[in-house]
Amino acid sequence: MKIALVTDSTSVLTAQEVKENNVIVMPIPVIIGNKEYLEGVNITSEQLFETQRNGAEFPKTSQPSMGKMIELYNKLHEDGYEAIIDITLSSGISGYYQTLQNIAKNNPQYHLYPYDSKMTVRLQGYLVLAAARMIKNGLAPEQIINHLDKISKTINEFFVVDDLKNLSRGGRLSNASAFIGTMLHIKPLLTFEDGKIIAFDKIRSMKRAVTKIENLTLQKTAGLDYKDKLRLFVFHSNDSVQAQQIKEFLTTNFPNMPIDVAEFSPVIATHLGEKSIAIAWMIDIDKIDLTK
């Protein structure tokens, strides 16, 4: 069965990964003032923060136009693809997944399978890479979705933002009302719950907040029956020094396990703000059977 694999740019796949796995990436727009940029095409996170330091308007994000998506799916259908799997950033922070569901419902000829990663950045990216392997192994769309569900259940993440300004203004924090008004000098601890960003604690100082999520990572992973198959991640918004320090902590506590360090994509950085930091983990797709 000929299956096309699509994702959005927040998955931050490398050019090599895209090429080797025949992935089609749909760029997400970032709007600053009256100018639209495309993530992964003509704006980086550093450039985004530079515009803010220079007094630019608060950035906004959008979905790719439905016309572009329909155009892509039409082409894939005409090229003989019998099904399309499209893995999106979390439906809790974007309406993109819902848009794809509507397209799938109204265009059954595409055999479109929208998949909500309930995450973003490299966590979403590894779900895409897992799907690519399964396509190469000849699995049917339903089998691929079933495997993705199992992998997705192993994903967890804790992160800290320097302040809640970006998240609250962008409307991406589900329980913002419980934390607004206490933002001064407070570093909120956040996680994903059912694909939505929620704040679950607040710590006074970034140093203490990072220590807290480091300790939470040790606690939450201690009892996992796949602890020996973990892949860990450190994500940051223009704070490579802090990210490296956290990586050293993880290397000490998770010896011989892969640890990826990456920046939040511009779209995600728009909502989290500069100096945000995260620790995440999931089962390592290199250590599981994706052949059946």
pLDDT value for 184: 58
List phi, psi (to 5°) of 61.
Answer: -120, 160
Name the residue among 123, 97, 76 with its Cα closest to residue 233. 123
List phi, psi (to 5°) of 111.
Answer: 50, 55
CB 13 within 8 A of CB 25: yes
Give the pLDDT confidence of 47-93 residue by residue, as tens digits. Answer: 888 888 887 887 888 888 899 999 999 999 999 999 999 999 999 88
pTM of the model: 0.92
pLDDT value for 180: 52
CB 2 within 8 A of CB 80: yes
Query: What domains appear along the chain, each with residue ranges and CATH number?
Result: 3-28+63-152 (3.40.50.10440), 156-287 (3.30.1180.10)
Q: For residues 7-33, give the mean pLDDT.
A: 95
Task: Give 45's Cβ-side CA count (13 Å radius).
Answer: 25
Residue with tokens 């990964």: 17
